[in-house]
Structure 1
Amino acid sequence: MAAIGRGGAQCLWVALAVLPLLAAPAWADRLEVLVTGVPDDRGVVACSLHGDPGGFPQGAPLAADRVAPRGGQARCVFTGVAPGRYAVAVMHDADADGRLGTNVFGIPTEGWGVSGNAAPRLRAPRFDESAFDMGPDPVGLQVTLR
């Protein structure tokens, strides 16, 4: 068996030091959404993460989280989120039926909100009004229910 020279040993140590970095993801991948303005602790708060403008806010999300509200707020957490442009939609599903309650005119009767807290009148928020950029660092957002 051949001996490793001084230069070879240095290369080996550098390789061993760098190897764990190569195995780690290239992004922080964590998004936390603090939902405030939840009127009571009934039901669940549902958060959905969207990366496609065409599917926001009601289309199929990239990821979703459902949590019980406590004390007027809830915290949704998404992990494994790659860098990119996203928007979050949130609803307080007070009756836990899996959908946003609306009246006969289609106006929501349960709390809702989106990232950026966009609140257009007489229409759903658009992706570009609610979008944020996910970079290499963890992101924290606050969404206030309407």
Structure 2
Amino acid sequence: MLSWFVFHFFTLVYFHSEATLTINVQNINRQTGQIRVALYAPCDGFPSNCQPVAGQVIDPTGNSVRVTFAVKPGDYAVALYQDLNRNGKLDTKLFGIPSEPYGFSNNFRPKLSGPNFDDCRVRIDEAGKTISIKLI
């Protein structure tokens, strides 16, 4: 009986475990607006044609902030921006170039087009992970 209980307990813990993804957002130069962070599971068309699996909105309180997500182990990507005017969208200039600070996991810096999921992929295991993203 005890062995049955122990087996099922560890099975539940293993298959339903969550990990913690901690994101340190750095290089916040203005203390206005909101930092909007979106977490994505693997998808085609990242980030604009995908729905985030989780998101958070926080007010900047210094030159860095910390955001934490509880996630199932797996692959994810993060896209974030500082919504300076609090209008709920990333404002852009000519040719779609962002006019507000933004960043991606792996500190990927787009050159001529936006990133794809693989550019920003972060693997989270049961131990969790901490990453840093600098706004540009």
Determine the structure 2 residue equivalent to 1:54: 44
- Contact 1:55 / 1:61 at 8 angstroms: preserved in 2? no
* Percent identity over paired residues: 29
Is there any run of 5+ residues in structure 2 with no aligned partner, and where? Answer: none
TM-score, normalization: structure 2?
0.86
The one-letter code matched in structure 1 to 2:97 is: I
- Partners of 1:34 and 1:87 in 2: CA distance: 14
The alpha carbon displacement at 1:25 in A equals 5.6
Partner of 1:42: 32
Q: Would you say 1:84 and 2:74 are equivalent positions?
A: yes
- The equivalent position to 1:66 in structure 2, one of 52, 57, 63, is 57
RMSD (Å), alpha carbons: 1.9
Distance 2:43 2:4 in 1: 42
Partners of 1:67 and 1:21 lie apart in 2 by 36
CA distance in 2, matches of 1:132, 1:120: 17
Pairs aligned (count): 134
What does residue 142 of structure 1 align with?
132
Provide the residue aligned with 1:100 in structure 2.
90
Rounded Cα–Cα distance in structure 1 between residues aligned with 2:7 and 2:42: 35
Deviation at 1:18, TM superposition (A): 6.5
- Matches of 1:120 and 1:107 in 2, distance apart? 10
Larger radius of gyration: 1
Please give the alpha-carbon distance, in whole angstroms, between the structure 2 residues aligned to 1:109 and 1:77.
26
1:16 CA drift (Å): 6.2
**Cα deviation 1:54-73 (Å, max 9, x = unaligned):** 14122310111111111111
Could you tell me how far 1:125 is from its partner in structure 2?
A: 1.4
| TM-score using structure 1 length | 0.81
Name the SS of the counterpart of 2:95 in structure 1: coil
Q: Which structure 1 segments of 5+ residues have no match?
A: 1-10
Superposition misfits of 4+ residues, deviation over 4 angstroms: 14-23
Q: How far apart are the structure 2 equivalents of 1:23 and 1:129?
A: 33
